Amino acid sequence: MRIPGLVLSGLALSILAQAPAAAASLDVSIRFSSNEISVIHDFFRDYHVDKKGGKKGSKPLPPGIAKNLARGKPLPPGIAKRGLPNELFVQLPPVADGFERVIIAGKILLVEIATQIVHDILVDVILD
């Protein structure tokens, strides 16, 4: 049985028109919970880690790269990141599958591992 091209085009357009709505309904916001934020703030307040990420002599990010550390944007390739200190890591609940918490230039980020998209950022947590 042969289906006319016009019917196939209409069917394809109908399916494509529905795709964005379906994708939008699956949008899940992954963020730091209020408990995680509290634990992280308390840890860095008590341990007085410096704003440069705890390493003496580390350099701040260039302004263009620092500006790109934003929610919804991917991390720049090759950016220096490190994991949370083990003492803090064990105090936090497990992160959602496919995500990691990292420290970059004195900020704590929640990043999707596969895409390197930043889902949340904590600033001004790592104190002098």
In the chain, what are the domain boundaries?
Answer: 29-122
CATH number listed for the domain at residues 29-122: 3.10.450.160
Give residue 11's pLDDT. Answer: 44
Whole-model pTM? 0.69
Cα separation of 122 and 88, whole Å?
A: 15
Q: Which amino acid would we find at residue 43? A: F
Query: Which two structure tokens, joined as six digits, stand for 8?
Result: 């196939």
Cα separation of 123 and 108, whole Å?
A: 7
Q: Which amino acid would we find at residue 11? A: L
Give residue 65's pLDDT. Answer: 82
Query: 116: burial class by Cβ within 10 Å (0-12, 13-18, 19+)?
Result: middle
Low-confidence spans in the chain with pLDDT less than 50: 6-27, 49-57
Give residue 7's pLDDT. Answer: 46
**33 contact partners, CB below 8 Å, separation of at least 6:** 93
Cα separation of 78 and 96, whole Å?
A: 24
